[in-house]
A and B are shown apart, each in its own frame.
Chain A
Amino acid sequence: MTKSTPPSGGFFPRNFKIHPPAYAPAYKSSIVRSPKLALVSIGNGLSELTGPVFGHEELGPTDNDLIANYAAQGESPIGERIIVYGKLLDERGKGIEGALIEIWQANSAGRYRHPNDKYLGPLDPNFGGCGRTITGEGGSYEFRTIKPGPYPWPNGINDWRPSHIHFSLFGPGFAQRLITQMYFEGDPLIKICPIVNTIPDNESIDLLIARLDMANTIPMDARAYEFNIVLRGQRSTLFENRLEGN
């Protein structure tokens, strides 16, 4: 091994069968925002195996509590109080600790706190709609929030998004970077959502649906939903130093 040898194998190649294709015309926004030419496969060097590190001290104490992080003193947002928790894992099943997770969502009326959102559903003065955390031991994370409402959106004439929370995810390597959305078990809008249906198969869609977890629900306070997140895992380093000329 030379001094410049990367410390470990690259990530398992991305399985494009489980991801939405760039061009998914039923989701109209993708039509002019999808590259037409093939992605060039370059594998992983240090630029892809490494990625940014974030410290707990960079975050505030209520950053992962969307019920508290925008509310006026002594007040709280309107809606169903929930906890969203789970583990951030890699494809080997190993917990990813110290990773940044950021979320954003509509309020209980389905309205985002954003100047471009003109939906009739009202803003909630006590709800901002974003949160972030850094994963702990074994990759565990938790957020407290209000269950977001469904909302209509300009795609077809009558398209509605199921209740969902957007997740932005980091692993140790920049090649693991991922943004996705979490849905709620039992929501009848999941099946008919053009964005959900950009994902080619139902089994993969299922991985984005959080389960109601009564065991971790706090009685008389907040229901719990479990959502485990998987990012790409790394190959082993066997024979990796024979890649010369690759």
Chain B
Amino acid sequence: MVNSPQILQELPSQTAGPYVHIGCVPKTAGLDTMYGGQHLGSQMINDKTLGTRISIEGKIYDGTGTPIKDGIIEVWQADAQGFFCSPEEKRGKPDQNFRGWGRQPTDRLTGAFQFETIKPGKTPYMATDKFQAPHLSIWVAARGVNLGLHTRMYFPEEVEANDKDPILNRLEHQNRVHTLIAKPLSDGKYQFDIVLQGHNETVFFDV
């Protein structure tokens, strides 16, 4: 360990606690006028955003099968062409009408969450010429979750791309792949439930 560039340590995580809605989605907590009455990440798309409109709904279940009502869920995704709206994106120009990030509460009464977004394009895999199947990166924080959880949502109709996806392929337990693939509802609508623990536990990632 000579001259390691890592001279500081990441702060330890602490749970978001029961009132994360106050800080991240204040209207949900009853602070109706805070931040202009709209939380960051509430609208992912506008009229000019390119790509196929999709909506995603779901719930996050604890180990007893109870939906979590005091959590937040965030998505991060590429645009329709597979570009990320980030200064780190050097391959091309991302859609100026798409930030690629959304955040929603799990509903305080039902636990349901919903996103209106567009279907992302395929993206490159690490420093290789392989591609990843279209997917959304997902992050979950809530009371009782000591370190925010990373997972992904893939698309059920992308059978071929999913079969070749380098992340899905490296899962030791291939019988868990289905926890990362959304269920089709009607046109453009998907259901994606997240199970924190137990039967059909969602695959979570160390990224």
Contact = CB atoms under 8 A, between A and B. Distances in A.
B89 interface: yes
Contact of A207 (B11, B129, B201): B11
A172 B30 contact: no
A114 B26 CA distance: 9
Contacts of B18: 114, 116-117
A53 to B, nearest CB: 6
A232 B10 contact: yes
A8 B88 contact: yes
A92 B12 contact: no
B97 interface: no
A240 interface: yes
B34 A69 contact: yes
Contacts of B101: 51-52
Interface size class of B (residues with CB under 8 A): 35 or more
A123 to B, nearest CB: 11
Contacts of A63: 35
B23 A168 contact: yes
B30 A114 contact: yes
B150 to A, nearest CB: 8
Given A32-B63, A50-B89, A113 B84 contact: no
Contact of A42 (B15, B129, B145, B206): B206
Interface string A206-246: 01100000000000000000000111110110001111111
Contacts of A174: 76, 137, 139, 207
Given A35-B196, A45-B123, A174-B76, A130 B205 contact: no
Given A33-B197, A195-B15, A243 B23 contact: no
A14 B85 CA distance: 25
Is chain A's binding surface mostly helix, strand, loop or mixed?
loop
A159 interface: no
B91 A12 contact: no
19 contacts: A18-B10, A19-B12, A20-B15, A33-B62, A34-B144, A34-B146, A35-B201, A39-B206, A47-B76, A47-B137, A50-B85, A52-B76, A52-B86, A53-B99, A130-B31, A166-B16, A178-B10, A180-B11, A232-B10
Given A42-B170, A178-B13, 19 more contacts: A20-B14, A21-B146, A27-B15, A32-B63, A32-B66, A34-B63, A39-B206, A50-B86, A51-B76, A114-B22, A115-B29, A117-B19, A204-B9, A205-B12, A207-B9, A207-B12, A231-B10, A233-B8, A243-B126
Interface of A: 1-8, 11-15, 18-22, 24, 27, 29-37, 39-54, 58, 60, 63, 69-70, 89-93, 100, 102-104, 112-117, 128-130, 132, 166, 168, 172-175, 177-181, 195-196, 198-199, 204-205, 207-208, 229-233, 235-236, 240-246
Interface of B: 5-24, 26, 29-31, 34-36, 40-41, 62-64, 66, 68, 70, 74, 76-78, 84-91, 99-101, 108, 123-129, 132, 135, 137, 139, 141-150, 167, 170-172, 176, 196-198, 201-207
